[in-house]
């Protein structure tokens, strides 16, 4: 009998967990309270879906999380951004990298990601129930969970394991399922928001952007550098969004009302700018100051900064005074704005706060308080800066949790085998062949055959990391279709063979579930370009 798992929340983390668990043989149901799943995936990145970030060193990747860096380090070593790219490529979606490192589907459409996840869930056999809000949950005496669904019928359903992936807690009530089972919720506050600024001259520049600017909030001791965008309500762009993430709690304490300083030319300094002014006065003295902008400022932005410095529109370069130069330098390097609030638009999807990290085992994503309860995604007190980092946390926590639910049949033992060859290919050996042959010794033996199943937890179950890293997928990513496919069948007097000819991977971890008492022989064969290296293992009664 398959393990019965309920995933509450039909977002990125919930889907990845559900797909991975279903591929392990579990019976998985997603409960989504709205009429559509993956809604955040659809609208993220301006409708393009910023899937992840092109940063492939787990330790470096983890530093992009104002909350959750230490907790995520181990999970990222098991499923990184590189593995995410490989997973989507296996499922038919290629990603591209933009100059700032953000990664999007080559179609530039989030629907590509949505369709990919929906197809993978369907193939894995995941059940999806829409408009199905969970009103309450309780732990039963036998260790199972009972969920009460909202609605006139007051339906109740039970499950062996429960995964909460309900997304960010914009209000404390959103985490009530976790708190009802004994967990502590870190007070939620917004993260990744934009700044409202009333200055009319700034709002007249809506749409103007800079590749690099520096923003600072002295009252909170915050400073960030990056692209900046002027909007109809104030300032946005990566520089502002990163600041709002790192300073989420500090800015909340200030009630989102504070002084903001903007340096429009962070690559320069006042002395260099004065020298440039002197050159302009000598070379273009007859021209109007507002008509000769400093690179890389746009003409519109330059004009408004000149006027904001108190310099008349008709002033020519030859007539600029020393006092006016210093006033303009001040405006270019230290423009002062009064921020009156934060944005209240669709860009504000990330929250700081959630289930307290110390109450969760990040090797298993299981609750330390309530056995059988698991978490994934933004419901945890984890949030990253802009650029695909929040989705990566969702993919990683969801998939690692799902993969740990192995094939479980109440009346059938499970055998996990990790074949190891006597030698590994030398550099320059382009190809090899491997096969796996399984034969039933007595009668018909029901078998569940899962290549590359539960790969990463083998490390945690006692294998040496240095040897396991050589196994297919740990170093190169779980990127081959044969590793994702499960075959259920009956071994009579015939055989089941799994073959692959890959250039850079050698071992094929295998999980098998047999009927009690059956005897079966398993044989692995590796054939290298130079010489064959056969290896046989015999297993008798289970």
H or E, element range at 85: helix 81-90
Which CA distances in Å does 538 have to 94, 408, 442, 541? Answer: 41, 23, 14, 10
Query: Quick one: DSSP state of residue 216?
Result: E
190 pLDDT band (50/70/90 cuts)?
very high
Percent of the chain with pLDDT over 70: 73
Asked whether 194 and 234 are in contact (CB, 8 A), the reply is yes
Predicted TM-score (pTM) of the model is 0.74
Give the separation between CA 62 and CA 84, rounded to whole angstroms. Answer: 15
Give the separation between CA 353 and CA 448, rounded to whole angstroms. Answer: 41
For the chain, what are the domain ranges?
4-189+349-404, 191-265+338-342, 270-336, 414-539
Q: Using alpha carbons only, how large is the chain's radius of gyration in Å?
A: 29
Q: What is the pLDDT of residues 431-448, one digit of tens each?
A: 333 333 443 333 343 333
- DSSP states of 428-489: T----EEEEEEEESSS-EEEEEEETTTTTHHHHTT--HHHHTTSTTTTT-S--HHHH--EEE
Q: What is the pLDDT of residues 380-434, one digit of tens each?
A: 999 999 999 999 999 999 999 998 875 443 333 333 333 333 344 444 443 333 3
Q: Which CATH architecture has domain 270-336?
A: Orthogonal Bundle (1.10)
Residue 301 reports pLDDT greater than 50: yes
**Counts for the chain of helices (H) and strands (E), in that order:** 17, 29
Which residues lie below 8 Å from residue 112, measured CB to CB, with a gap of 6+? 49, 93, 105
Longest dimension (CA), the chain: 101
Residue 542 reports pLDDT greater than 50: no
* pLDDT attached to residue 501: 30
Over residues 165-171, the mean pLDDT reads 85
User: Which three-class secondary structure state does DSSP give residue 360?
Assistant: strand
516 pLDDT band (50/70/90 cuts)?
very low
* pLDDT attached to residue 539: 32
Residue 462 reports pLDDT greater than 70: no
Q: What is the pLDDT of residues 246-270, one digit of tens each?
A: 999 999 999 999 999 999 999 999 9
Give the separation between CA 244 and CA 261, rounded to whole angstroms. Answer: 14
User: Which three-class secondary structure state does DSSP give residue 237?
Assistant: coil
User: Which three-class secondary structure state does DSSP give residue 262?
Assistant: strand
Q: Which residue has the higher pLDDT, 375 or 46?
A: 375
Q: Which of 76-90, 147-161, 260-274 has the lowest mean pLDDT?
A: 147-161
Instruction: Judge residue 127's burial from the number of C-beta atoms within 10 Å of its C-beta, 0-12 exposed, 13-18 middle, 19 or more buried.
Output: middle
Q: Which residue has the higher pLDDT, 481 or 232?
A: 232
Asked whether 432 and 529 are in contact (CB, 8 A), the reply is yes
538 pLDDT band (50/70/90 cuts)?
very low
Residue 19 reports pLDDT greater than 60: yes
Residue 520 reports pLDDT greater than 90: no
> How many CB atoms are located within 10 Å of the residue 174 CB?
18
Mean pLDDT across the chain: 79
* 267-273-275-277 Cα dihedral, nearest 10 degrees: 140
Give the separation between CA 304 and CA 264, rounded to whole angstroms. Answer: 12
The yes/no answer on whether domain 191-265+338-342 falls in CATH 2.40.30 is yes
CATH code, 4-189+349-404 = 3.50.50.60
In sequence order, which ranges of 284-321 are alpha helices (DSSP H)? 299-308
Residue 366 reports pLDDT greater than 90: yes
* pLDDT attached to residue 406: 57
Nearest to 2, CA basis, from 448, 541, 372, 452: 448
Nearest to 522, CA basis, from 397, 391, 416: 416
CATH topology of domain 414-539: Jelly Rolls (2.60.120)
Give the separation between CA 343 and CA 75, rounded to whole angstroms. Answer: 32
* pLDDT attached to residue 154: 78
**What is the sign, positive or negative, of the torsion defined by CA atoms of 121, 123, 124, 128?**
positive
Residue 68 reports pLDDT greater than 50: yes
> How many CB atoms are located within 10 Å of the residue 520 CB?
21
Residue 203 reports pLDDT greater than 70: yes
């Amino acid at each position: 009998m398959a393990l019965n798992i309920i995933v509450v929340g039909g977002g990125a983390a919930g889907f990845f967990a559900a797909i991975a668990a279903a591929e392990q043989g579990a019976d998985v149901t997603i409960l989504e309270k709205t009429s559509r799943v993956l809604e955040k995936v659809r609208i993220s990145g301006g409708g393009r879906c910023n899937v992840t970030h092109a940063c492939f060193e787990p330790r470096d990747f983890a530093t992009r999380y104002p909350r959750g860096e230490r907790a995520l380090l181990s999970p990222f070593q098991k499923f990184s951004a590189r593995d995410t790219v490989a997973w989507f490529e296996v499922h038919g979606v290629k990603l591209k990298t933009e100059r700032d490192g953000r990664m999007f589907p080559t179609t530039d459409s989030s629907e590509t990601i949505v369709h990919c996840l929906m197809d993978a869930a369907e193939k894995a056999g995941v059940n999806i129930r829409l408009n199905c809000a969970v009103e309450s949950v309780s732990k039963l005496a036998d260790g199972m969970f009972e969920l009460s669904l909202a609605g006139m019928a007051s339906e109740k359903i039970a499950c062996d394991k429960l995964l909460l992936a309900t997304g960010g807690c914009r209000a404390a009530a959103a985490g009530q399922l976790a708190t009802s089972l004994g967990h502590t919720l870190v007070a939620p506050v917004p993260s990744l928001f934009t700044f409202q600024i009333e200055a009319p001259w700034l709002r007249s520049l809506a749409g103007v952007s800079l590749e690099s600017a520096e923003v600072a909030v002295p009252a909170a001791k915050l400073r960030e550098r990056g692209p900046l965008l002027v909007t109809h309500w104030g300032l946005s762009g990566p520089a502002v969004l990163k600041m709002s993430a790192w300073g989420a709690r500090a800015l909340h304490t200030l009630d989102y009302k504070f002084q903001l300083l903007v340096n429009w030319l962070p690559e320069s300094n006042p002395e260099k700018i004065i020298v440039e002014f002197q050159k302009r006065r000598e070379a273009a003295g007859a021209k109007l100051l507002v008509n000769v902008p400093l690179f890389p400022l746009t003409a519109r932005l330059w004009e408004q900064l000149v006027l904001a410095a108190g310099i008349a529109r008709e002033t020519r370069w030859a007539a600029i005074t020393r006092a006016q130069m210093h006033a303009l330098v001040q405006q270019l390097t230290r423009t002062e704005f009064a921020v009156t609030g934060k944005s209240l638009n669709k860009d504000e999807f990330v929250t700081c706060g959630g289930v307290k990290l110390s109450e969760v085992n990040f090797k298993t994503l299981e609750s330390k308080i309530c056995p059988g309860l698991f978490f994934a995604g933004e419901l945890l007190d984890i949030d990253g800066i802009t650029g695909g980092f929040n989705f990566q946390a969702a993919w990683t926590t969801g998939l690692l949790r799902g993969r740990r639910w192995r094939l479980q049949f109440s009346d059938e033992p499970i055998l996990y085998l990790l074949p190891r060859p006597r030698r590994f290919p030398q550099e320059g050996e382009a190809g090899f062949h491997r096969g796996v042959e399984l034969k039933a010794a007595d009668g018909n033996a029901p078998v569940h055959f899962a290549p590359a199943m539960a790969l990463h937890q083998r490390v945690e179950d006692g294998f040496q990391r240095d040897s396991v890293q050589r196994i297919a997928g740990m170093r190169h990513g779980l990127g081959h279709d044969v590793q994702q496919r499960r075959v259920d069948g009956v071994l009579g007097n015939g055989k089941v063979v799994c073959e692959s000819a890959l250039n850079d991977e050698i071992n094929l971890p295998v999980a098998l579930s047999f009927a009690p008492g059956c005897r079966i022989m398993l044989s692995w064969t590796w054939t290298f370009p130079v010489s064959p290296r056969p290896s046989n293992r015999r297993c008798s009664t289970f």
